[in-house]
Amino acid sequence: MGWLKKILLSQKSHEQAKSTNHELLALGEDASPLSKDFQQNKIEIEKAFKNAADFRMEKVHIGKEEGLICYLSSMTDSSLLAEQIMKPLSVSAQQERSISNLKEFEAFRKEFFSGVVYQFRDTIHELIADVLAGYAVTIINGQTKTLSLQVGNIKYRSIEEPSTQTVIRGPKEGFTESMDTNISLLRRRIQNPYLKFETTIVGKDTRTPITIAYIDGVINEGILEEVKKRVNKISTHAIFDSGNIEEYITDKSLTLFPLIYNTERPDSAAANLLEGKAALIVNGSPFVLIVPTVFVDFFEATEDYYHSFFIGSFIRLIRYAAFMVALILPSLYVAITAFHHELVPSDLLFSLQAQREGVPFPAVIELLIMEVTFEILREAGIRMPRAVGQTISIVGALVIGQAAVEAGLVSNALVIVIALTALATFVSPIASFTISARLLRFLFVFMAAVFGLYGILLALFFMVAHLVSLRSFGVPYLAPVAPFIVEDQEDVFVRLLSWANQRRPHYLKTESPLKHPNSDSPSPPTDKGDEES
């Protein structure tokens, strides 16, 4: 792997700088301050938006002063612009007032735009960025500052049920592509003044806002600083989804396992914030990133806490078992069929050999044919239109499986193994985690074909050793299993009663370790007759 590291390091020959406004300058943009020369500012703005059909620049009068208002018709609401901006400006034009300094400019804003979100800007670069973000920018002759007023008209998808995390019991609201909407969904669930949101801009071309959410006084300060540091060091030209962020902030480890948890569910993100983690909200993405992440997070679902603890614990154990089935069942079939016949009862062994009598391929080739075929069907079902995608997957698997058996290419037992493996793969509540099992399965099959059961044990050994070596923002990936933390075992393989789970995870080293120290199990009411006796 040394050669791959050299390539990655050679591509990063200089130290990444913090994503300041200057660093985010696009090609041809000017970071110089605004000029007092009204015409010079006008020329610079027109140059920046040359050939932009949706750009508008209109002359206005503010008292005795001449001014300009600049905006993009595609990014602003025409009714809001007319009501909140143009109408007050027409009223101000009838007044005999002068604006010669920032104090008078601020007084003018308070009088005419008191209910509008605003920002004062003093560079051409910031002015252009505000216009692109859906602001109407007001420029006054002789002033070196501009007033940006928010009248955005960006349409977003309405709040719907999450598409990748099916909800059986619990809130059916899912995150959307609007960062403001996503923040409000978290605010509604955590009405705590210590819930903080810090926003930074990433991407020279896309200028994508990224918000870091955390609960002050709960999250470990070292973890929070590390999250901020990694986000601020991102140097790229474009961010379109939270998935683009993952590779820039994840620990430098070449691994198949996801080191960052993503979710579409606001209740899941809120629960993780209360545990002492941070959430990254990317504008334009319905997937919120949760950091730091440990291995056991991918076997837990928020619904576990909405059912009784018996049902929640049972379902969680099923997930662990399904992961192992998805990982090693095909390799076990290859190892037993090719090497370890003595592990199979005689009757079953005779049946398996009879089924494979007409199959022209060894067990490993037979299995790889079916695995690759099923992966193609799975991908086709995802990419096809939804009306026919599920039908293609089911019918394709049935038809191809049956035809392959009748043609003598594979055995009936192998079709059962592949079907069970596929079902077990879909048990994980996080889709990104299932990819790890799907890819590692091929490695296990190869090791089983060469070394039998010893190869499977060897692959498991190296996999566990690799997991132990991983870190997520400095937190051991296998915590609280390795290192083993006794106090945290109450919510790993099974979950205890909610009132008994009083502490936040030790491995997060939170500022406030206790969640609800005074909670206790409710006792049944005492019978009055018993009290009298």
The whole-number pLDDT of residue 16 equals 41
Q: What does the alpha-carbon distance between residue 195 and residue 214 come to, in Å, rounded to a whole number?
A: 6
Question: 45 and 104 share a domain?
Answer: yes
Among 293, 320, 350, where does a domain finish? 293
Nearest to 60 by CA among 33, 35, 32, 38: 38
The answer to whether position 29 is within a domain reads no
C-beta separation of 366 from 373 below 8 A: no
* Structural domain range at position 405: 309-476
Question: 261 and 362 share a domain?
Answer: no
Question: 91 and 131 share a domain?
Answer: yes
Q: Which helix (H) or strand (E) is 416 found in, with range? A: helix 412-425
The whole-number pLDDT of residue 320 equals 93
Question: 79 and 198 share a domain?
Answer: no
C-beta separation of 489 from 501 below 8 A: no
Which tokens hold the place of 418? 């592949």
Question: 54 and 118 share a domain?
Answer: yes
**pLDDT, block means (10 residues), the chain with 533 residues:** 48 42 49 78 87 89 83 87 86 78 84 86 87 89 86 80 83 90 93 93 89 94 94 90 90 86 93 94 94 92 86 90 92 88 78 74 85 81 66 64 72 84 85 87 92 93 93 92 85 81 86 77 65 50
Question: 315 and 252 share a domain?
Answer: no
The answer to whether position 450 is within a domain reads yes
Nearest to 124 by CA among 223, 22, 241: 22
Question: 97 and 122 share a domain?
Answer: yes
The answer to whether position 435 is within a domain reads yes
C-beta separation of 267 from 171 below 8 A: yes
CA 398 vs. chain centroid, Å, equals 34
Question: 322 and 464 share a domain?
Answer: yes
* The residue to which tokens 């889709």 are assigned: 431
What's the structural domain count of the chain?
3
Among 261, 293, 325, where does a domain finish? 293
SS3 for 291? strand
The answer to whether position 495 is within a domain reads no
Among 129, 150, 171, where does a domain finish? 150
The answer to whether position 383 is within a domain reads yes
The answer to whether position 60 is within a domain reads yes
The answer to whether position 527 is within a domain reads no
373 contacts: CB under 8 Å, gap ≥ 6: 400, 404
Question: 268 and 405 share a domain?
Answer: no
66 contacts: CB under 8 Å, gap ≥ 6: 38, 59, 140, 141
Side chain identity at 189, as an amino acid letter?
Answer: R
Question: 447 and 385 share a domain?
Answer: yes
Q: What does the alpha-carbon distance between residue 165 and residue 174 come to, in Å, rounded to a whole number?
A: 9
The whole-number pLDDT of residue 396 equals 66
The answer to whether position 302 is within a domain reads no
pTM of the model: 0.83
Question: 366 and 455 share a domain?
Answer: yes
Nearest to 210 by CA among 250, 175, 179: 179
Question: 336 and 279 share a domain?
Answer: no
